[in-house]
Amino acid sequence: MEKQTAKEWKQLWLSYTKKKNVGNDPFLHTYRLEGFDRENRIVRSALEELKKGLSGMLGIDPSEESFAPEAGKEHINEQDKANSMQGILILRRLIPAGNNEEGYSLHEKEGNIILEAGGEKGLLYGVFHLLRLVSMEKSLKGICEAAGPDNPLRMVNHWDNMDGGIERGYSGNSFFFENNEIIVNERTRDYARLAASVGLNGVVINNVNVKQAATYLITDRYFEKVAQLAEIFADYGIRFYLSLNYAACMELGGLSTADPLAEEVQAWWKEKMKECFDRIPNLGGFLVKADSEGRPGPFTYGRTQADGANMLADAVKPYGGIIIWRCFVYNCTQDWRDYKTDRARAGYDNFIQMDGDYRENVILQIKNGPMDFQIREPISPLLGGLKKTNQMLEVQVAQEYTGHQIDVCYLIPMFKEVLDFHTYCKAGADTVADVISGRTLGNRNTGIAAVINTGNDANWTGNYLAGANFYGYGRLAFRTDLTAEEILDEWIPQTFGSDEKVLETLKKILLNSRTTYEKYTSPLGIGWMVNPGVHYGCSVDGYEYSRWGTYHRADHLGLGVDRSDKGTGYAQQYYEPNASMYNSMESCPEELLLFFHHVPYTYVLKSGKTLIQHIYDSHFEGYEEAESYAKAWDELEGLVDPEIFGNVKERFGRQLQNAREWRDQVNSYFYRKSGIPDEKGRTIY
């Protein structure tokens, strides 16, 4: 193990502190492996975890059953079984595994607990699930559960830079990189354990904006250390990915072009990929941000996105690799005077015509909304809009626009809305969850990715409460049917213990926190209004006269962007009936009203309030709700770990300051612009 460069760290939901043994004692002193090779790296990890968890939580040190079938006998006979099977944990490989290599079931049978899994990863997930139940103080008695992942790919994307900084990171610096060197230590392993425990199976360790030293991750300068990192993730069934600089063939290879159709480019990448897969074990493939926000890409050479992606896909194909290609392609030098160009349209417009042109090992990674991770956006029409292309949903667990892990904002309810959205792309299997699970198109190279919220802060996520987003994202990626509340019912006891008041208080705070944040920031789907660059704090006009395509178009009569067929036509990118629903001010869901329509301040909402009064009310309410959370948290003093208490309390203090600025600035801005006073006569400046 190396010199410890990252800060000391916590174990979060894997802290394995002493738990009540709610009658699980009889099952857990002995385990038996059936059909699994105890020398397999993942099996070894599972057994280590089992011992660590049971020892910490129940003081049990489980031992492997010494019983073995007689020599020559392939299977245990019934009598043998009867003799041996009393109160043990059987870890059994299910044969055949079919497509269920990652699935597992847990049931009690004849006094034993049987964990059956189709493969080693399923075994690992099953062990973590068993430990989760122990941690939640659930009895295993009579258990009968089965679970398999809904999404084939369940990935985390790190936007870590090699200088140690993290783009949009709010939890300290990178624990992968420092001063252009790679960090490999016990924390890496703990991170892999945390990720695997919630069912994640892929990690991209470096920022999608690949510059400077990061371009060299695929060279001798770093191969050795990269391989060490990749090996650690391999122990936990997590495939290893890198973000790629599309222009690497020029920067590293000295070519004068990166034209994907140029032979020398293709040849360079074929050679380079051979080298990468030779040198980096457990390599799954690459993530590419091309032609986006100044990054190089095939557009430079008059080629399509498909040309670029396919060229790389061909190069990684011999090694079973995949290319994940981001769809965040838009004009970031827009003129604010231009009311016709619409950034929301860009992803669809740039990618829809090439539907079907991509190799089978290319996946398009699509942000949940058409803009950029705002607190409220419609679902990207590209999801399900593409009918012949592998798709991966990208969400952002890092709280870039949602409070910087200062403000509490439990994002799982938002992710649920995205997953449950009916795209109407195919009868019976048309939700986003259907599309990215492969159910819609019957494909396997699909899934979900999250820009993750971790850093080298001791508690990994800055605000302890942001741990719920890391945990929840993984669980939801694995089982999209879990509710936001069910996830909290798991995470809270594992993190805070079993105090009922803590559970109830935190559930109330977290389940409502996203709506609260929305209320005191930007109203009714309009988004933005943030300080440019930093993306925290209010600046109503911060992006109004900018080149970023992010406008609210507020004037003295109203605000919002007309994206109907009379405006930019964005609403028409959806299938019916969504297109018509969004197109009309009356049928448009009100939480997205200003995203789709330019609406007068005097427009009356379904609540009977005018738009302007709604803006005032929601901002006052949002602040009051934040205040009530801070108070509720204060009442938990003594019931939660003092360090956690202090960490969260300090952040609530900053959240209230932030919420107050948002409330007063937004209300003052729209009052000053509309001249319409608050009906309730509250203070507006």
What residues make contact with a second copy under the rule CB under 8 A? 336-337, 538-541, 545, 554-557, 661, 664-665, 668-669, 671-675, 685
The distance of closest approach from Cβ of residue 536 to a second copy in the complex, given in angstroms and rounded to an integer, is 14
Structural tokens at position 379: 């679902």
Q: Collapsing DSSP states into helix, strand and coil, what is residue 364?
A: strand
| CB 156 within 8 Å of CB 198 | no
Burial of residue 209 (CB within 10 Å: 0-12, 13-18, 19+) is middle
CA atoms of 190 and 258, how far apart (whole Å): 39
Taking each helix axis from N to C end, the angle separating 484-496 and 412-420, rounded to the nearest 10 degrees, works out to 150
Decide whether 540 or 640 has the Cβ nearer to a second copy: 540
CA atoms of 548 and 597, how far apart (whole Å): 19
The distance of closest approach from Cβ of residue 661 to a second copy in the complex, given in angstroms and rounded to an integer, is 7
Decide whether 368 or 521 has the Cβ nearer to a second copy: 521
Return the DSSP state at 53.
H
Burial of residue 422 (CB within 10 Å: 0-12, 13-18, 19+) is middle
CA atoms of 268 and 61, how far apart (whole Å): 53
Burial 444-462 (b: 16+ CB within 10 A, else e): ebbbbbbbbbbbbbebbbb
CA atoms of 489 and 485, how far apart (whole Å): 6
Burial of residue 545 (CB within 10 Å: 0-12, 13-18, 19+) is exposed
- Does 318 sit behind a cis peptide bond, omega within 30 degrees of 0 on the bond before it? no
The distance of closest approach from Cβ of residue 636 to a second copy in the complex, given in angstroms and rounded to an integer, is 31
Q: Which residues contact 49 (CB under 8 A, 6 or more apart)?
A: 124, 127, 128, 131, 193, 197
The distance of closest approach from Cβ of residue 209 to a second copy in the complex, given in angstroms and rounded to an integer, is 22
The distance of closest approach from Cβ of residue 331 to a second copy in the complex, given in angstroms and rounded to an integer, is 18
Return the DSSP state at 592.
G
Decide whether 299 or 671 has the Cβ nearer to a second copy: 671
3-state secondary structure 491-521: HHHHHHCCCHHHHHHHHHHHHHHHHHHHHHC
CA atoms of 349 and 661, how far apart (whole Å): 37
Decide whether 185 or 546 has the Cβ nearer to a second copy: 546
Q: Choose, from 235, 372, 394, 430, the residue flagged as catalytic.
A: 372
Decide whether 321 or 622 has the Cβ nearer to a second copy: 622
Structural tokens at position 273: 């990929």
Decide whether 288 or 612 has the Cβ nearer to a second copy: 612
CA atoms of 62 and 39, how far apart (whole Å): 18
| CB 582 within 8 Å of CB 596 | yes
CA atoms of 541 and 550, how far apart (whole Å): 10
Decide whether 9 or 336 has the Cβ nearer to a second copy: 336
The distance of closest approach from Cβ of residue 559 to a second copy in the complex, given in angstroms and rounded to an integer, is 9
Residue indicated by tokens 């986006």 = 292
Residue indicated by tokens 């095939």 = 298
Length in residues, the chain = 685
| CB 50 within 8 Å of CB 31 | yes
Q: Which residues contact 353 (CB under 8 A, 6 or more apart)?
A: none
How do the residues of the chain divide into helix, strand and coil, expressed in percent and rounded to 5?
Answer: 40, 15, 50
Which parts of 143-213 fold into alpha helices (H)?
A: 186-197
Decide whether 641 or 661 has the Cβ nearer to a second copy: 661
CA atoms of 629 and 125, how far apart (whole Å): 34
Q: Choose, from 186, 293, 335, 360, the residue flagged as catalytic.
A: 293
The distance of closest approach from Cβ of residue 337 to a second copy in the complex, given in angstroms and rounded to an integer, is 5
Decide whether 240 or 669 has the Cβ nearer to a second copy: 669
Decide whether 219 or 546 has the Cβ nearer to a second copy: 546
- Give residue 214's Cα distance to chain centre: 22
Decide whether 358 or 528 has the Cβ nearer to a second copy: 528
The distance of closest approach from Cβ of residue 340 to a second copy in the complex, given in angstroms and rounded to an integer, is 12
Structural tokens at position 463: 């605000």
The distance of closest approach from Cβ of residue 547 to a second copy in the complex, given in angstroms and rounded to an integer, is 10
Which has the closest alpha carbon to 542: 527, 552, 529, 561? Answer: 529
Residue indicated by tokens 């073995």 = 68
Look up 641 and say whether it is catalytic. no
| CB 104 within 8 Å of CB 117 | yes
Look up 591 and say whether it is catalytic. no
The distance of closest approach from Cβ of residue 176 to a second copy in the complex, given in angstroms and rounded to an integer, is 29
Return the DSSP state at 354.
G
The distance of closest approach from Cβ of residue 527 to a second copy in the complex, given in angstroms and rounded to an integer, is 17
The distance of closest approach from Cβ of residue 552 to a second copy in the complex, given in angstroms and rounded to an integer, is 10
Decide whether 467 or 558 has the Cβ nearer to a second copy: 558
Decide whether 589 or 675 has the Cβ nearer to a second copy: 675
Q: Choose, from 49, 190, 394, 400, the residue flagged as catalytic.
A: 400
Which has the closest alpha carbon to 273: 251, 265, 161? Answer: 265
For 245-359, list the strands marked E by DSSP.
283-288, 322-326
Q: Which residues contact 657 (CB under 8 A, 6 or more apart)?
A: none
The distance of closest approach from Cβ of residue 546 to a second copy in the complex, given in angstroms and rounded to an integer, is 9
Look up 357 and say whether it is catalytic. no
What residues are annotated to the active site?
293, 372, 400
